Chain A
Amino acid sequence: MFLALKEIKKEKLRSGAIITMIVLICYLIFILTSLSLGLARQNTAAIKSWHVQRFALNSNANTDMRQSFLNDDQLGQLTKNEAVLGQGSVVAKAAGKEKLSAVFVGLKSNQFIAKNLQLTSGHPVRHAHEIVVDDSFQDKGYHLGSHLRLNDQKQRYTIVGFTKNAKLNIAPIVYGQLSTWKTMRGFEHGPSASAIVSKKASYRAQTAGITTYSTKQIINKLPGYQAQNTTFILMIAFLMVISLIIIAVFLYILTMQKMPNYAVLRAQGIPSKVLVGATISQSVLLVIFGLAIGSLLTAGTAFAMPAAVPMAFDVPMLAAVGLGLVLMALLGSLVPVRSVLRVDPISVIGG
């Protein structure tokens, strides 16, 4: 540590150049991680807010709630741990306001999802023409009592409440009654719901033509969800590898320049472990400095970022990413360490 700190202090330009590279990589990784997490949350926020373990969908729906329709016979007998919901895509429009693409979720007021909905303002849906919508509607100028139409219906709906974390597949949710969903879809005499959800992991739908899935299976089947996550994971992994290469290359060059000095120290009996320790410490310290500055930049970005940008700054996750970078630094330092272990003190004797 002593040697590492002294070298970083003396060689400010070199150390600064490496730290700058690490800061940029850290910042990029942090931003990508936050964006990835933010988008993932916007895909799944509503499902997670329902606190359900199982989804039962029509067996032919390919694990997609939008394509699932269940009739009364298929719904069967439900306990208080189950609820039914109807899902459909809608376009919300109101005079003088921007059109909004949204997801309509029809609920039964006496079942747990509707009962447990956390409102930030207003009251729950009590009538067929009332809706509770995601907070993001407020950013578009909607407020309690605002009227809007859904798709090409003539019926006007009144916003009676706002709720947070009501997003499914990035689109804001419009919660209404299940009967409203049926009317909207023209299902007065047809299907009764899209899905049955259950709070119990042990729940299995018993009626014919229905398959039960875990929440994870449903989330993974959300359109674009896995492709998006895989893309982000790949980008972050590549950046991690790039950080490893940068640390390894820079440290290798710095170490090679010090080999004659190290050879003299080895000749004098300074153990290899002291020189190895200095190399590893230097690597870790450079990354920690880079991480600290990168974290400050990320915190500044989190503060300045508009709410419309789907980013979520999760400290434990960013800390885990930071730890990953420190591990990369340790791995990267193994390349120069190999050279340090092979330093030949005889090379500095005899001119």
Chain B
Amino acid sequence: MNAISLQNVSHTYGSDTAQVHALHQLNFSAQSGTLNLVLGPSGSGKTTFLTIAGGLLTPTTGGVTIAGQNYTTLSKKQQDALRLSSIGFVLQAYHLLPYLKVKEQFKLVSQVKKTGNLSAAKLAEVLDMLEITDLLNKYPSELSGGQQQRVAIARALYPNPAIILADEPTAALDSQKVKVVGQLLADLAHQHDKAVIVVTHDPRLIEFADQIYDITDGVLTHKDTVQA
């Protein structure tokens, strides 16, 4: 089943002579239980693709379906609710709230989305998998960059979203850590049945991907399907 799909999506910034066509007639879908890698250089349209797939930007033309709902026809409030329940963002910049302890980062989510979050046991499992169980009572300022990233991933997983959108998750990581993050994303897809979409320029993640796409000048091309 498609967790997310983009149909004939085009997006243009600016108007008249200052127009920039960021995406052209793009079609994309991601199924649950797969890790989808979208590779492209800077300026290729990766960020526009991610913001449209994540429901943060409405495409100039085309449709976006998230968890079976036509996202572009929803109200702002419904879009917020759908993002909270269905999409987990793993961003380059973690931006954990500095005045909340790790455990309170989850509490904030549970105050807004009161049902459907990970159970205490499931959360403990995720924390264990991410090796951050011992950090629950620490503030972000007491954590290393890597630990903050893993807390941000756990926060993204806590609402139990069907889709994980990762933005350059391995930027500035050495090869060893790329393997750890790549394996983690693959595990999320395969063991937790998430549709994981990773937008990156880092080819070191290819070995973990199920579907590989290339994006250049706003045109998305399916490159490969890796058989399990």
Question: Which residues of A does B touch, CB under 8 Å?
Answer: 2-3, 6-7, 9-11, 258, 260-261, 263-265, 267-271, 274, 345-346, 348-351
Contacts and interface: CB of A to CB of B under 8 A. Distances in A.
Contacts of B99: 3, 6-7, 9-11
Nearest to B88: A268
A10 B139 contact: yes
Contact of B108 (A2, A10, A260, A350): A2
A264 B91 contact: yes
A11 B94 CA distance: 20
B111 interface: yes
Given A10-B139, A271-B80, A349-B50, A2 B95 contact: no
Interface string B19-52: 0000000000000000000000000001100110
A147 B25 CA distance: 107
A274 B80 CA distance: 12
Contact of A351 (B92, B139, B155): B92
A267 B112 contact: no
A258 B171 CA distance: 23
Most buried by A among B54, B81, B88, B91: B91
A337 B202 CA distance: 39
Given A2-B107, A6-B104, A351-B168, A346 B95 contact: no
B156 interface: yes
A345 B50 CA distance: 12
Contacts of A11: 99
Interface string B83-97: 111011101111111
Contact of A264 (B85, B89, B112, B113): B89
Contact of A2 (B80, B98, B111): B111
A345 B139 CA distance: 23
B114 interface: no
A350 B53 CA distance: 13
Contacts of B184: none
Contact of B51 (A258, A269, A274, A349): A349
B93 A269 contact: no
Contact of B95 (A7, A10, A261, A350): A261
A349 B91 contact: yes
B84 A269 contact: yes
Interface of A is mostly: helix
Nearest to A4: B99
Contact of B93 (A258, A264, A265): A264
A89 B131 CA distance: 87
A264 to B, nearest CB: 4
B56 interface: yes
Contacts of A264: 89, 91, 93-95
B82 interface: yes
A7 B168 CA distance: 30
A345 B56 contact: yes
Interface of B: 46-47, 50-51, 54, 56-57, 77, 79-85, 87-89, 91-100, 104, 107-109, 111-113, 139, 155-156, 159, 167-168, 171
Contact of B84 (A7, A270, A348): A270
Contacts of B83: 267-269
B156 to A, nearest CB: 7
State the 4 A-B residue pairs at the shortest beta-carbon distance, nearest first. Answer: A269-B84, A350-B47, A269-B83, A10-B99
Contacts of B168: 351
Contacts of A351: 92-93, 167-168, 171
A218 B15 CA distance: 71
A348 B97 contact: no
Nearest to B54: A267
Given A264-B93, A264-B95, A271-B77, 4 more contacts: A11-B99, A270-B108, A350-B47, A351-B167
Nearest to B156: A268
B93 A260 contact: yes
Contacts of B54: 267, 349
B87 A346 contact: no
B153 to A, nearest CB: 12
Contacts of B159: 268-269
B95 A274 contact: no
A350 B93 CA distance: 9
A151 to B, nearest CB: 71
Contacts of B171: 351
A10 B94 CA distance: 19
B84 A261 contact: no
B109 to A, nearest CB: 8
B224 to A, nearest CB: 24
Contacts of A270: 80, 84, 108-109, 112
14 contacts: A2-B111, A3-B99, A10-B98, A258-B97, A261-B97, A267-B56, A267-B89, A267-B91, A268-B83, A269-B81, A269-B87, A270-B80, A271-B80, A349-B50
A275 to B, nearest CB: 10
Contacts of A10: 98-100, 139
A12 to B, nearest CB: 10
Most buried by B among A9, A10, A349, A351: A349
Most buried by A among B47, B77, B81, B99: B99
